[in-house]
């Protein structure tokens, strides 16, 4: 293969799609759907509200017009991500065969290896940002998009009942009854939107307190039957068992990220619990790539070009991702420790 063919846009996108990426536990659990769009804005039908009964009418009169109050069409503008870097593969090309190597791989093979490694690193950054977006959507009901030339807030319309801060009977107290509290939260979510939460994702301190209170009630038969394989869970994820009383799988998530201010923070706050349903229509959407060379809708768009003076080859990765909790009433977030 000609080395220049390795840097063609189609080849670079194909590499990005094949490479593994950073942890996507929150995305895969709560936003399992995916779609791409060639529009700047993405229209999503959000489902929120009470469940109505169909009206009774006589078969001899015309049907009754029923207005749907539970669905609304919202237009979201996905966040935009651009990462540009000078590729180290250029160093290999410039050295050519004059450098001694211990194996017999071709120059093209070496360039492909370095290029794939660079793409993997930057793809991981994008995936981690999407996981951050999922965490923010689930713990705050909104996503703040701040960066060079952009400062926006994407609000998904969560209401106050979906955010609980315990002041009495916090989980470190002997009087606490986490199962009774979660049972009530589950009822509230069913009452609000008709969908029962079935997954709880806990921060590091919250899971410790939870295990201290009701650890003996956790059922691991799902692991024994092979329904859940702990060995294939994403990094930072631990499965603790199933609680029959509330029909909920319990996980902890110890994944971290470096925030824009340089501080390391957990995806799920240490004292927090995300409680939601894995069976909603919530999804990851990818908007249009604003590039003249982007001819198709895609999750990741990569291109490469050379600068003559000074001589350098740049690569640019672009993505326009957004996570959207379609059935917003199916989720809640609780701070369970003082």
In this prediction, residues 41-51 reach a mean pLDDT of: 74
pLDDT of residue 115: 84
Q: What is the pLDDT of residues 268-289, one digit of tens each?
A: 999 999 999 999 999 999 999 9
Domain for residue 66, yes or no?
Answer: no
Q: Is 59 inside a domain boundary?
A: no
Q: What is the pLDDT of residue 15?
A: 64
Matching residue, tokens 């701070």: 335
Structural domain contains residue 146: yes
Per-residue model confidence as pLDDT tens digits over 3-35:
566 667 666 667 666 655 567 999 999 999 999
**Residue 58 placed within a domain:** no
Nearest to 276 by CA among 32, 18, 21, 19: 32
Give CA–CA dist 166/197, Å, rounded: 19
Cβ atoms within 10 Å, residue 210 = 24
Question: Domain with 195 in it: what CATH number?
Answer: 3.15.30.10
**Residue 204 contacts residue 270 (beta carbons within 8 Å):** yes
Percent of the chain topping pLDDT 70: 86
| Rounded-to-10 torsion of CA 59, 63, 67, 72 | 100
64 within domain boundaries: no
Does 65 fall in a domain? Answer: no
pLDDT given for residue 169 in this prediction? 94
Residue 61 in any domain: the answer is no
Distances (CA, A) of 37 to 12, 44, 299, 331: 20, 12, 9, 26
Give pLDDT tens digits for 154-200.
Answer: 999 999 999 999 999 999 999 999 999 999 999 999 999 899 999 99
pLDDT tens by residue, 83-109:
999 987 777 666 554 444 555 667 777
Question: Is 90 inside any structural domain?
Answer: yes
With 0.95 as the threshold, say if the pTM is over it: no
- Geometric angle at alpha carbon 254, from 220 and 140, rounded to 5°: 105
Domain that holds residue 147: 3-50+72-335
- Average confidence (pLDDT) over 203-213: 97
161 is written with which tokens?
């009942």
Give CA angle at 210 (135, 173), nearest 5°.
Answer: 115
* Average pLDDT of every residue of the chain: 86
pLDDT, average across residues 110-137 = 89
- Is the model more confident about 278 or about 115? 278
Domain count, the chain: 1
For residues 230-258, give the mean pLDDT: 93
77 pLDDT more than 70: yes
Q: Which two tokens stand for residue 293?
A: 């060379």
């Amino acid at each position: 293969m000609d080395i220049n063919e390795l840097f063609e846009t189609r080849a670079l996108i194909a590499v990005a799609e094949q490479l593994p990426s950073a942890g996507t536990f929150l995305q895969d659990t709560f936003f399992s759907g995916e779609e791409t769009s060639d529009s700047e804005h993405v229209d999503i039908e959000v489902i929120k509200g009470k469940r109505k009964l169909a009206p009774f009418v006589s078969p001899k009169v015309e049907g009754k017009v029923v207005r749907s109050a539970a669905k609304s069409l919202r237009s979201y503008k996905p966040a935009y991500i651009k990462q540009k870097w000078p590729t180290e593969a250029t160093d290999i090309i410039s050295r050519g065969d004059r450098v001694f190597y211990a194996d017999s791989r071709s120059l093209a093979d070496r360039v492909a290896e370095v290029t794939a490694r660079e793409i993997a690193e930057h793809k991981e950054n994008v995936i981690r940002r999407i996981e951050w977006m999922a965490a923010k959507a689930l713990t705050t009901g909104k996503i703040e998009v701040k960066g060079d030339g952009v400062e926006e807030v994407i609000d998904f319309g969560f209401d106050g009942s979906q955010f609980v801060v315990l002041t009495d009977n916090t989980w470190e107290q002997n009087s606490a009854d986490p199962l009774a509290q979660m049972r009530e939260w589950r009822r509230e979510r069913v009452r609000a939107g008709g969908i029962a939460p079935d997954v709880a994702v806990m921060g590091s301190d919250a899971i410790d307190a939870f295990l201290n209170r009701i650890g003996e009630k956790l059922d691991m038969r799902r692991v024994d039957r092979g329904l859940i394989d702990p060995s294939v869970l994403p990094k930072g994820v631990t499965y603790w068992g199933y609680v029959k009383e509330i029909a909920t799988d319990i996980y902890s998530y110890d994944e971290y990220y470096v925030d824009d201010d340089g501080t390391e923070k957990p995806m799920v706050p240490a004292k927090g619990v995300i409680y939601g349903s894995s069976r909603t229509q919530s999804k990851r959407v990818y908007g249009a790539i604003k590039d003249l060379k982007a001819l198709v809708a895609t999750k990741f768009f990569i291109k490469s070009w050379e600068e003559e003076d000074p001589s350098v080859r740049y690569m640019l990765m672009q993505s326009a991702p957004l996570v959207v909790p379609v059935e917003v009433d199916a989720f809640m977030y609780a701070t369970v420790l003082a």
